Amino acid sequence: MLCDRHHRVISYLRISVTERCNFRCVYCMPAAGIQLAPRAHLLTYEEIARVVQVGAKLGLSKIRLTGGEPTVRRDLPDLVAMLAAIDGINEITMTTNGVLLASLAQPLKAAGLRRVNISLDTLQPERAAALARRDYFDAVLRGIDAARDAGLTPLKLNAVVMRGVNDDELADLVSFAHSKGAQMRFIEYMPMGVARLNEQNKLMTAREMLERLKTHFDLTPEQDGDLADPARGWVCQRTGARVGFITSISEHFCDTCNRMRLTAEGGLRPCLHQDAEVDVRSILRSNGSDVAIEQAYRDAANLKWAGHHMNDVIPLYSAKEMVAIGG
């Protein structure tokens, strides 16, 4: 079993398959993009599968593919199939901007992907283009339908909520998600990387979002929530619409954190907000043993903080952009 110093069991690995992205979201990366790592530094699918295989022996059971935009990496269904074949891995999910799902949803499902979270910050095409700095709104909507039709369900739609930017759309987003059979999830804006320097006072807490939504929906807390799921769930008694809040800032959920991350370049990273990584790529590429990879997991678990410091008087922010860590 993989346990950290604070007695939390690690069973969930979020894998960034690429730092590349076909969007340039204002809250995630600079307009000009980021300095990409040389292609040769990226873990191959075989290398990722080996890291997961060793992790599964230590008790990893859930995988989420992310990035960057995971769907821009070529032949992604091949990776899903390789991971799905590993003993002990019983759930593979993905977080995506949805743009390429119209063609990829079916092959990903066939390869063993269970479900997807699709980012959708707004229902207004012009606003979407301004936020993503790319005009792909219609393709995202087609991607949402394709995911539902392929059975990548229960579908979740994620919006990063920013005061004065898209906080006037909360109720519309909940209704839209419900019309697609999806749960809407609102993420508190985290000031990270370059974006934090440009975006002051954009945070809206989940509590305030909930108060606003209660004027439209008869919301009560969901009873059967997964404790390790960072989203706190609510359901509208009248319509059955479901909504979740990811309260990374206002009530961070570090006590029940069961995750670790693998960056596209092969760093095992104990926490999104902690600039510490254990290099597994060098183990993989120097004929390192499974025992050495196991030790890398244990080293990363030992580094894991009790909780992130985003609310502290002197905040500690990651030196990397969100897109480069894998959100």
- Determine the interface stretch with ligand SAM among 42-50, 64-72, 122-130, 174-182 (rule: CB under 6 A): 64-72
- Residue pair 184/243 in contact (Cβ under 8 Å)? The answer is yes
Those residues whose C-beta lies under 8 Å from the C-beta of residue 215, and which sit 6 or more positions away, are none
Helical spans, DSSP H, in the chain: 45-57, 76-84, 101-111, 125-132, 137-150, 170-179, 193-198, 206-214, 281-284, 290-303, 322-325
**Is residue 67 close enough to count as binding ligand SF4 by CB under 6 A?**
yes
Q: Is residue 241 a contact residue for ligand SAM (CB under 6 A)? A: no
From the CB of 94, what's the least distance to ligand SF4, in Å? 12
**Does residue 79 interact with ligand SAM by CB under 6 A?**
no
Q: b/e map of 85-105 (b: 16 or more CB within 10 Å)?
A: ebeebeebbbbbbbbbbbebb
Binding residue for ligand SF4, selected from 18, 97, 248, 318, defined by CB under 6 A: 97
Write down the residue that tokens 């244990």 correspond to.
298
Beta pairing partners, 186: 159, 245
- Stretches 30-38, 66-74, 143-151, 174-182: which one binds ligand SAM (CB under 6 A)? 66-74
The amino acid occupying position 85 is: A
Amino acid at 188: E
Q: Are 270 and 303 in contact (CB under 8 A)?
A: yes
Q: Confirm or reject binding of residue 21 to ligand SF4 (CB under 6 A).
A: yes
CA distance 147 to 191: 30
Residue 19: CB minimum distance to ligand SF4, A: 9
Q: Does 190 bind ligand SAM (CB under 6 A)?
A: yes
Q: Is 69 in the site for ligand SAM (CB under 6 A)?
A: yes
136 binds ligand SAM (CB under 6 A): no
Using CB under 6 A, pick the residue from 195, 213, 235, 283 that binds ligand SAM: 195
User: Of the candidates 3, 9, 24, 298, which one interacts with ligand SF4 according to CB under 6 A?
Assistant: 24
Residues making contact with ligand SAM (CB under 6 A)? 21, 27-28, 66-67, 69, 95-97, 119, 158, 160, 187, 189-190, 192, 195, 322-323, 327
Residues making contact with ligand SF4 (CB under 6 A)? 21, 23-25, 28-29, 67-69, 97, 119, 322-323
